Amino acid sequence: MDKVIKKHFALFALPTLLAFTLAFLIPFGMGVYLSFCKFKTVNNAKFIGINNYARAFSDSNFINALKFTALFTIVSVVTINIIAFIFAMLLTKSIKGTNGFRTVFFMPNLIGGIVLGYIWNMIINGILLPFNATITTDATYGFWGLVVLMNWQMIGYMMIIYISGIQNISPDLLEAAEIDGATIWQKLIHVTFPQIMPSITICLFLTLTNSFRLFDQNYALTAGAPGKETQMLALDIYNTFYGRVGWQGVGQAKAVVFSIIVAAIALTQLYLTRSKEVES
Amino acid sequence: MKSLKRVLALSMAGCMAVGVLAGCNNNSGGSSGGADDEDKPSAVGEESVDTSSVKQIYFLNFKPEISDKYDAIAAEYEKQTGVKVKVQTAASGEYEKMLTSEMGKSEPPTIFQINGPVGYQNWKDYCADLKATELYNQLNDKSLAVTNGDGVYGVPYAVEGYGIIYNNAIMDKYIATSDAKIKSVDEINSFAKLKEVVEDMTAKKADLGIEGVFGSTSLKQGDDWRWQTHLMNVPLYYEFKGEGSPITNCLNSETLEFKYADNYKNIFDLYTDNSCTDKKLLGSKTVDESMAEFATGKCAMIQNGNWAWGQVSGVEGNTVKEDDIKFLPIYTGVDGEEKQSLCIGTENYFAINSQVDAATQQASVEFLNWLFTSDYGKKAVVNDLGFIAPFNSFKDDEKPSDPLAKEVLKYMGDSDKETVIWTFAGIPSENWKQGFGASLLEYVQGNKDWTKVVDEAKSSWTTERQAAAEAAE
């Protein structure tokens, strides 16, 4: 039986492979090709070499967006994971109404990014109103607005992943550590963390890539205002591709650079955290 | 394992072949439609083409405020002729984006809109030559069309005008106050007079029952076109008028002197200093919100165009009566502005997609002819769409009846006045406008000096013009 399946492995893999090729490989390949072209719509491309990449890197908007995105990603990954982990610890302590809390914290994740963006736009403008300011008054407002929004949306999800990790820690280990006289901190650092390393890998991966690729929330909350100071990479690519005459190729080149960066970050992070995972 | 690799390789090869073939199809489809310069098809309408095979044409509409009107017109056309008109509407400010993505599809729009010479540059591979069409030949003023060499690539379908809209009921109330600066609104014929009146009105705003003279200067991104494009038109017009058409002069200018920057500042400061909203909060205001302020009587004046009547009358709790809504020209303190009229022009040009087959192109043109020459079509244009259509198929009694359109017609008919032509069609790019709008917001919030706003507008003009030239190569 096993042998038969192995023999026909390729046949069974074919549907997925076909879908993957049609929906991902071909468009991606076309995208990379288009980044070397000058075009108006995807059907009338003309090859022009690396000119688009040169223009992309000499575009100050792109560089600013890259810096802003990097800063945002660092801040939001740290805050989301720390807060989500604290919540997860609290909600595995058999407090009354734990399930209710878990549900409530998870809820924001069910709302779409655009809607969340507009909701927070109203909330933040409402808060700033007495101070005669709006979210577009200063880029720092936009930055922290995005961080708050992203935290609000992602914490619940990450919390659930951490909870499942924490619940899988064998009580024996914790008990043994206690008997050996470990303090709460020692238990946390030497037992809990190594044991939930797989959860940390997943959470870091999800927050890192989601923060870096953020588009909807950015578009709805600030749309880059004031000026283009709060414009993140994905939004900058969108605006370059659709908003500027003759810049489609440059937008495409930016998108290719963007995919490479995201892939590089994600793979490095996976490699680093995976290597720390232990067998329980 | 070996067979696995073989199957994998085969399937990959198959996939790639499909991809390549699909690519070929697209290319050949494109060139047979006329992408090749070598065998450019003759202009639409020149030869008789059998359109009986055409079942559907596709119109990508630019004006979201009248999308439901177009749906009704399309339904009627299908009833009369059997040709289905698919109407899609782009959200405000999203037209270029939607057009770009729709054009890449297998059933692209057959009728679309370009916003003038700049839009034509962008879409020149897709614009069919319309010089043989009835639509073009019906134009009152052929110079309004977008042309290139011998060809006609965009036909304007609506003339529009904008200025400062005021609520006459509030103005009457002001005139009735003690020591009012004017006896009649007609006395306002310069920036100095306007400023005097506006500042006096601000002082008396409690008596007048308003929160400010002007509606909010909406500077939210995407809602700032009234300032970065429309208001900017006034200094552009004065800078580029002279010999030849100001639009062409503006379009050909590598640099912007911004000679009338102080005039722009005059009127912009007047708007924001006497607004019903605090300066710092303008960054979150939309056009809709500021039109609602006007409609509910919170302010007396607002800068906008004749298309705004629908918006004002549609607001719940609208207090502005049809007889009370009037236009004033936008005075900025330029010498001789007493004779200045409204800003009148068009940025609405129909273009036909040259990359679809000839029969579909012809069918698309027939729809437009029908819309602007048949009795049903003309009635719909005047009453439902509210266009001031620049075609001689429209008689004098077939002009729109909404109060602002009537005002525009009145100003157009006054030959003593100097119309401010829509010079903004020559602005190098959308990006320039967005940058200028963002600068204005920072200026009004007190984070940027006016001199910096002006300097950036100038330098951005040069770089954007170069970028546009580069892109057009």
Nearest to A170 by CA among A196, A208, A203: A196
Q: How far apart are CA A174 and CA B131, in angstroms?
A: 85
Token readout for B45 is 């309408």
CB A244 within 8 A of CB B430: yes
Nearest to A35 by CA among A232, A259, A213: A259
Q: For each of the domains in chain A, give its residue range(s) and CATH number, in order of start.
A: 52-274 (1.10.3720.10)
Q: How far apart are CA B232 and CA B339, in angstroms?
A: 19
Residue B27's pLDDT is what? 39
Report angle CA B400, B403, B409 to the nearest 5 degrees.
60
Residue A248's pLDDT is what? 85
Specify the length of chain A in residues.
280
Please count the residue pairs, one from chain A and one from chain B, whose beta carbons lie less than 8 angstroms apart: 117
Residue of B nearest to A52 (CA): B471
The verdict on a CB contact (< 8 Å) between B284 and A125 is yes
CATH architecture group of domain B162-344+418-472: 3-Layer(aba) Sandwich (3.40)
The verdict on a CB contact (< 8 Å) between B15 and A243 is no
| pLDDT tens-digit map of B378-414 | 999 888 888 888 888 888 778 887 899 889 988 888 8
Specify the length of chain B in residues.
473
Residue of B nearest to A118 (CA): B284
Q: Where are the alpha helices (DSSP H) in chain A?
A: 2-7, 9-20, 26-34, 51-57, 60-90, 98-106, 113-128, 139-167, 171-179, 184-187, 193-195, 197-212, 216-221, 233-243, 248-274
- Residue B5 pLDDT level (bands cut at 50, 70, 90): low
CB B266 within 8 A of CB B122: no
| pLDDT tens-digit map of A3-30 | 777 788 888 889 999 999 999 999 999 9
| Positions of E strands within B52-110 | 56-61, 84-89
Q: Give A-chain residues touching B284 at CB under 8 angstroms.
A: 121, 125, 134-136
Q: How far apart are CA B161 and CA B386, in angstroms?
A: 13
| pLDDT tens-digit map of B36-46 | 443 445 577 66
Q: Return the exposure string of A159-177: e unless at least 16 CB atoms fall within 10 Å of the residue's CB, then b.
A: bbbbbebbeebeeebeeeb
CB B91 within 8 A of CB B142: no
The verdict on a CB contact (< 8 Å) between A246 and B125 is no
Nearest to A227 among B97, B438, B470 (CB): B438
| pLDDT tens-digit map of B51-98 | 788 889 999 999 887 888 899 999 999 999 999 999 999 887 788 888
Res. A97: pLDDT tops 60: yes
Per the prediction, chain B carries an average pLDDT of 85
Res. A246: pLDDT tops 80: no
- Which own/partner pairs from B453-458 qualify as long-range (CB within 8 Å, at least 24 positions apart)? B454/B258, B454/B261, B457/B256, B457/B258, B457/B261, B457/B432, B458/B255, B458/B256, B458/B257, B458/B258
Q: How far apart are CA B317 and CA B420, in angstroms?
A: 34
Nearest to A246 among B11, B220, B471 (CB): B471
Residue of B nearest to A136 (CA): B283
The verdict on a CB contact (< 8 Å) between A245 and B103 is no
Token readout for A90 is 């609290």
Q: How far apart are CA B219 and CA B342, in angstroms?
A: 22
- Boundaries of CATH 3.40.190.10 in chain B? 56-159+346-394, 162-344+418-472
Residue B221's pLDDT is what? 82
Nearest to B11 among A9, A18, A138 (CB): A18
Residue of A nearest to B440 (CA): A227
Res. B441: pLDDT tops 80: yes
The overall longest dimension of chain A from CA atoms, in Å, is 74
Q: Which fold would CATH assign to domain B56-159+346-394?
A: D-Maltodextrin-Binding Protein; domain 2 (3.40.190)
Residue B50's pLDDT is what? 77
Nearest to B43 by CA among B156, B131, B136, B134: B131
Residue B250's alpha-carbon distances to B253, B302, B344, in angstroms, are 5, 27, 16
At residue B156, φ and ψ (nearest 5 deg) are -70, 145
Residues of A contacting chain B (CB within 8 angstroms): 7, 9-11, 13-14, 17-18, 21-22, 25-26, 29-30, 40-44, 121, 125, 129, 132-138, 223-228, 241-248
